[in-house]
Structure 1
Amino acid sequence: MCGICGFTGAPDKPLLERMTARIQHRGPDSCGFYAAPGVNLGMRRLSIIDLSTGEQPIGNEDGTVWTVFNGEIYNYRELRAELSAQGHVFRTASDTEVLVHLYEQHGAAFPSRLRGMFAFALWDTAARRLLVSRDQLGIKPLYYAEHGGELLFASELKSLLARRDLPREVDPEAIDAYMTLLNIPAPRSVFKAVKKLPAGHSIVFENGGAKVSRYWTLPSVEPAPEMPESELRARFLELFDDTVEKHMLSDVPLGVFLSGGIDSSAIAASMARVSGAGIKTFSLGFEDGRDASYNELDAAALTAKHLGSEHRQLFVKPDFAGLLPKLAWHLDEPFADSSAALTYLISKEAVSHVKVALTGIGGDELFMGYPRYLGMRAMRYFSRLPASVRRAFGAVVSLWPESEASGAFSGRAKRFAAGALKEPLDCYLGWISFLDARAKAGLYARGFVPSGDALAGHRNAFAALNPAFGDYRFPLLDVNTYLSDDLLVMGDKMSMAASLELRVPFCDTRLLEFAMSLGAGRHLRGERLKSFLKSAVAGRLPPQLMKRRKQGFMLPLSRWLKEELRGQMADLLSRESVARRGYFRTEAVSALVSEHCSGRANHADRLWALMMLEQWHRTYADGGSDA
């Protein structure tokens, strides 16, 4: 794991060193540079595999191909054996060196052969060609900009900003997307001049021009063959254990983030089986009894005891005065998934004991763990009722009081009712949005008028899915959007902020193909979310865990904003701050604050989004990129 950066054009050592220094947290162990006519490559290394000879940049036998690489290639041993048989000579034991030889053998199409998480840049000296690529699901980030006839790239946006003449005009469409989704989906970034390379894509830069192309898309998968359920579960467990074992490849200590949920517990159980030894587990929760509905410490401790792990707990307090600027700095862009704070804090705790941690990110998408998937199935039947009945239902639930509890039924019922008169896709997009067109009209300032559709990318992604997948199209939509633009961004940047490598076994393409082959019917049985996964791993985990309802990894924001974080909210969302940015009507923001603090409505997500946007401006615009 590391951070990479670079640019085409004449050698510029001071710029390359500034870019590399800004991502030092991604790789505190060492740094490396390669500069030659036409290219500059830089990297910061967090040493995980091949500690003695794995330094970067790495070249091929005759020094005509060079690469810098961020991530892990889990099938590199198989690829290395294949390439050695074809006559390629290796000088190190690292996975990075596989890249230069794959390029020699297969050209720019080789990323499709990689199984892992990666972002890399590769320079072909003879062709004067730069190849930049990102993994299939977007586990590792990659920003780029075309400026002055050259290409700049980096693991994090802050590195690109070391180029002082790079334009920093904020993109209003990106802000609109952020207020809709709490993140800025690729390929946009917060700045017009900078883009994010989408998952499964590559850039080839040569002859002064960049061409972006997709090298991977969701595969066509045959339905799982008819067989006894027990045999299908056995096949899954064999694949799952193999995947987890590959993700445990490391020359340094590793552990697992253990919540009270099925996904991380399944990974921990597999790690214990594969290693044949004790594992290290890490959990966090809240001491205040008022936040009990957000706490999973007891469930995590139950699993840890069952597995015999070396378990550590971290208690989170609402002391965020110094934390928000750090989050804004490391996230690079406005980002309002409050789980980012928790991921950062548990990473800071874990890095004192391990250098690598596995996590359950991706399990909910692949194996249908979100309540909204059941909601879409229920909506098929509900939509058959007369419109008058559906309107009456909506009117009734709108009167229900707000709740601050995690996963409160009243909130879900209100979201369900809001989609009752819409087409299926519009209904689903409404459920995953935090501001609809009507709310934006009331919030946005007169001079702030984004012209696009913030959900256009989602609509296009859904339209590209095979209708034969039926209800499984909704988790596949989430794989293409929410997983890559939110969860994996958060996981990478918050763990790297602590110089910890985070690995995500559920985001393995072979596991994805298996999950796709099952179809929605096997994932949702009756009212049971994640039916197949739960039945497959039930024999490995405490029986009590199977009976727990789905619980998100979230801050108790609603209460905290009324109490402990109220002063910070008042500062960030003061009338002066809101007016200075020009995005929102000051009276509308004040109304959101008033309604939330009085308990008349729960605006926690919207207020957090507004706060993080203002904090981003103070960190990057007001404070400069060296904050």
Structure 2
Amino acid sequence: MGRIFGSLSAGAARPDPAELAAVSARQRHGGPDEHQVLRGPGWSLGCDRLAVTDPLGGRQPYRLAHLPGVTAVLDGQIYNHAELRRELAARGHRFPDLCDGTLLPALYAEYGTGFARRLDGMFAVAVLDVRASPRLVLAADPMGLKPLHYHQGADGAFRFASEIPALLAFDGVRTAPRADSLDTVLALRTPISARTALEGISVLPPGATAVVHPGRPAALRRRPPGQDAPERPRPATADVLRREVRRLARADVPVCVLTSGGLASGLVTALAAEYAREDGAPAPHTFHLTHRGRRPDPEAAQARAAARHARTVHHEVALDPAELGSLLTRTVRHLGQPSADPAAPGTYALFRAVRQAGYSVALTGDGADELFGASARIRPAGPAPFVADWAAAYTDGLAAAPRLLREYLYTPAYRDFIAEEGSAADRVERELRSAGGDRLTAITAFETRWRLPGRLRRTDHLGMASAVEARMPFCRPAVAEHARSLAPRRLQDRRALAEAGRELLPGAVLKRPGRPFALPVTAMLVPGGPLLEPVRELLSAERLARAGQVRPDRVRTLLARQLERPSDHDALALWALATHELWSEVVRGMHVPVDCAA
């Protein structure tokens, strides 16, 4: 586990160690336990390690004495490493420790560029093979749980890193915000495709492998899924989830649970506590985020109810509104991309508290809504004949600012640019309409292929900002496949999850949808509220005029309306504008050394 980085070029010069040290420093917060970097003619490979599996072993980059020339680094966890180790040992390979990533050079030696198909886990892997003609092989897990960003320069040099700020510390990486990044944030809240908000920087897609040769474009391909399992009676949802929670709750370091008070995180809490009791282990600790001065807080009450029912040791983390200004800056810096999701700062604060309590692994309920079709976003896309244009209705539900408000705020020049280039919202609508099948199938496919990986990357970045590994039972392949196998469901059908929790959770939690650890932006963006001055400063006329994308007078009108008649819609639009402006300023400073540790 940890953060990884590296480079490959056609030149014979060894990368500058000072440059590599700067790259590592930008993401050292995610791997504070050990740092190592190797370099050779035209290549480098490094890791900042978070010691989770076999903490005393597992030195990265991984090398095996009997396989000179093959080196690997790993960000993530390989859950089937014991089985793979036995298989590889039977083929003559020997390993110095029990760390999951130590087997990667041997696995690559046996299976070549197809090695990642044998891995079960959440991972971003890089393997450097210099035995003949040098090549670099990158692989991401099927759900996109671990991010890997890359850039290929005009000279063909290829560079990668787990985090965008680290990638920007390479001397050869020069970029700028994409011109359509503001429209993407207002229309979708954050970039969700493999293309990031920065020119020339991409993220390796879920389930993809990239093969890079010096000076040549990377060859990117999606790995085919594994073989279909034989037909068996469909297991109960609770049993599938129980097996995966138990698998992810095993670690060589303490594991806690994040609970929002909703059904999905409540299920993970109950099953983790059940496993601890049966294993004779102490009751797990659960963590919930609340906000000082916010009353009432029904999510906190629901989280307490789930914790009491499961008999966990429960912690409430109270966020101080006075900290919001600095918290927002840290969050934006760690994400590396603009995000208008009010859950981001709270998620960062919660993981920080988890680390301060002594935990480096946390179970979460992420992914349940997308996989089981229970998201409130799909309510507007209800069944015909009630919604004629369901694709547009769904896409509007993603937006931080509705289409008409976006067009009202844009300058004429920016409005014309978006009309010519195409809006992010238009691209989503086209994909939904071209998917075929019923609307729930189309929406679920879109959410799991594009939107969910983007949200999982956010969770990863904000957890690793405090050196906490987030493990997500709902995003395990077995759970995802089970969700796809269920009979066709109505939009917002939560029956499978509710049935799974019937014997595990109190009735009040069963009936309540989960909510993220989001800031109450509307309540905080009012006269005297803690967000007012930071947002007002970020949306000053001088700043907005420099960018030339929105009209300062109309933003001022929108803010005045929010202060007079607070509303969720106006508050979210202002929040999106402010976070994009802050990101634009932060990213301009990422080409010089920036202390990302917080």
Per the normalisation by structure 2, the TM-score is 0.90
Equivalent residue number for residue 206 of structure 1? 213
Q: Contact conserved, 1:158 with 1:625, CA < 8 A, in 2?
A: no
Q: Give the superposition deviation at 1:373.
A: 3.7
Question: 1: CA distance between counterparts of 2:86 and 2:352?
Answer: 37
Q: Give the superposition deviation at 1:529.
A: 3.3
Q: Give the superposition deviation at 1:625.
A: 4.5
Q: Contact conserved, 1:355 with 1:501, CA < 8 A, in 2?
A: yes
Q: Contact conserved, 2:290 with 2:319, CA < 8 A, in 1?
A: yes
1:301 aligns with 2:268: no
Question: 2: CA distance between counterparts of 1:362 and 1:255?
Answer: 18
Question: 2: CA distance between counterparts of 1:360 and 1:347?
Answer: 14
Question: 2: CA distance between counterparts of 1:603 and 1:312?
Answer: 33
Q: Contact conserved, 2:373 with 2:492, CA < 8 A, in 1?
A: no
1:357 aligns with 2:362: yes
Q: For structure 2, which runs of at least 5 residues remain unmatched after alignment?
A: none
Q: Contact conserved, 2:190 with 2:338, CA < 8 A, in 1?
A: yes
Q: 5 Å matches for 1:120-519?
A: 120-126=125-131, 127-147=133-153, 148-216=155-223, 232-233=235-236, 236-276=237-277, 277=281, 278-290=283-295, 292=296, 295-319=298-322, 320-353=324-357, 354-376=359-381, 378-382=382-386, 420-422=387-389, 424-448=390-414, 449-450=417-418, 451-455=421-425, 458-459=428-429, 462=432, 467=437, 471-485=440-454, 487-519=455-487
Cα 1:335–1:38 shift into 2, 3 Å: same
Q: What CA deviation, in whole Å up to 9, does each residue of 1:547-604 have, x standing for no partner? A: 3355443211012011221111111111111112222111121122112111175312
**RMSD of Structure 2 on Structure 1 (CA):** 2.4
Q: Give the superposition deviation at 1:41.
A: 0.5
What amino acid is the match of 1:317? D
Q: Contact conserved, 1:109 with 1:215, CA < 8 A, in 2?
A: no
Equivalent residue number for residue 415 of structure 1? none
With 157-166 and 512-521 compared, the bigger mean Cα shift is at 157-166
Cα 1:459–1:211 shift into 2, 3 Å: farther
Cα 1:239–1:194 shift into 2, 3 Å: same
With 6-15 and 41-50 compared, the bigger mean Cα shift is at 6-15
Q: Of the two structures, which has the highest relative contact order with CA contacts closer than 8 Å and spacing of 6 or more?
A: 2
Aligned length: 574
Cα 1:456–1:111 shift into 2, 3 Å: farther
- Three-state SS of the structure 2 residue aligned to 1:538 is coil
Q: What CA deviation, in whole Å up to 9, does each residue of 1:264-296 have, x standing for no partner? A: 111111112223231111111134354x2x541
Question: 1: CA distance between counterparts of 2:313 and 2:84?
Answer: 35
Cα 1:219–1:43 shift into 2, 3 Å: closer
- Three-state SS of the structure 2 residue aligned to 1:322 is helix
- Percent of residue pairs identical: 29
Q: Give the superposition deviation at 1:495.
A: 0.9
Q: Give the superposition deviation at 1:466.
A: 6.4
Q: Give the superposition deviation at 1:218.
A: 7.0
Equivalent residue number for residue 416 of structure 1? none
Equivalent residue number for residue 544 of structure 2? 578
Q: Give the superposition deviation at 1:463.
A: 6.4
Cα 1:573–1:224 shift into 2, 3 Å: farther
Q: Give the superposition deviation at 1:462.
A: 4.1
Question: 1: CA distance between counterparts of 2:593 and 2:186?
Answer: 25
Question: 2: CA distance between counterparts of 1:369 and 1:438?
Answer: 28
1:6 aligns with 2:12: no
- Three-state SS of the structure 1 residue aligned to 2:325 is coil
Equivalent residue number for residue 531 of structure 1? 495
Cα 1:271–1:461 shift into 2, 3 Å: farther
Question: 2: CA distance between counterparts of 1:154 and 1:477?
Answer: 26
- Three-state SS of the structure 1 residue aligned to 2:111 is helix
Question: 1: CA distance between counterparts of 2:556 and 2:307?
Answer: 45
Per the normalisation by structure 1, the TM-score is 0.86
Equivalent residue number for residue 524 of structure 2? 560
What amino acid is the match of 1:483? L
Q: Give the superposition deviation at 1:159.
A: 0.9
Q: What CA deviation, in whole Å up to 9, does each residue of 1:338-384 have, x standing for no partner? A: 101111111111112211111000011112221344543x33131xx
Question: 2: CA distance between counterparts of 1:323 and 1:198?
Answer: 29
Q: What CA deviation, in whole Å up to 9, does each residue of 1:127-151 have, x standing for no partner? A: 3110112111111111100112210
Q: Give the superposition deviation at 1:104.
A: 1.1
Q: Give the superposition deviation at 1:220.
A: 9.8
Q: What CA deviation, in whole Å up to 9, does each residue of 1:60-92 have, x standing for no partner? A: 322221011100011111222222222222222
Question: 1: CA distance between counterparts of 2:95 and 2:329?
Answer: 44
Question: 2: CA distance between counterparts of 1:79 and 1:250?
Answer: 18
* 2:505 pairs with one of 514, 527, 541: 541
Equivalent residue number for residue 598 of structure 1? 564
1:610 aligns with 2:580: no
Cα 1:85–1:26 shift into 2, 3 Å: same
Cα 1:145–1:289 shift into 2, 3 Å: closer
Cα 1:224–1:582 shift into 2, 3 Å: farther
Q: Contact conserved, 1:174 with 1:188, CA < 8 A, in 2?
A: no
Question: 2: CA distance between counterparts of 1:220 and 1:516?
Answer: 16
Question: 2: CA distance between counterparts of 1:33 and 1:271?
Answer: 37
Cα 1:457–1:273 shift into 2, 3 Å: farther
Question: 2: CA distance between counterparts of 1:36 and 1:113?
Answer: 29
Q: Contact conserved, 2:274 with 2:310, CA < 8 A, in 1?
A: no
* 1:626 pairs with one of 588, 593, 596: 593
What amino acid is the match of 1:453? S
- Three-state SS of the structure 2 residue aligned to 1:285 is strand
Q: What CA deviation, in whole Å up to 9, does each residue of 1:247-267 have, x standing for no partner? A: 123111110001111111111
Q: For structure 1, which runs of at least 5 residues remain unmatched after alignment?
A: 383-419
Q: Contact conserved, 1:138 with 1:484, CA < 8 A, in 2?
A: yes
* 2:32 pairs with one of 15, 28, 42: 28
Question: 2: CA distance between counterparts of 1:623 and 1:192?
Answer: 14
Q: Give the superposition deviation at 1:544.
A: 2.6
Question: 1: CA distance between counterparts of 2:379 and 2:189?
Answer: 23
Question: 2: CA distance between counterparts of 1:238 and 1:167?
Answer: 49
- Three-state SS of the structure 2 residue aligned to 1:72 is strand
Q: Give the superposition deviation at 1:454.
A: 1.1
Cα 1:551–1:167 shift into 2, 3 Å: closer
Q: What CA deviation, in whole Å up to 9, does each residue of 1:21-42 have, x standing for no partner? A: 1111010111011112231011
Equivalent residue number for residue 397 of structure 1? none
Q: Give the superposition deviation at 1:326.
A: 0.9
What amino acid is the match of 1:18? A
What amino acid is the match of 1:258? T
Question: 2: CA distance between counterparts of 1:598 and 1:112?
Answer: 56
What amino acid is the match of 1:474? I
Equivalent residue number for residue 82 of structure 1? 87
Cα 1:534–1:275 shift into 2, 3 Å: same
Cα 1:560–1:436 shift into 2, 3 Å: closer
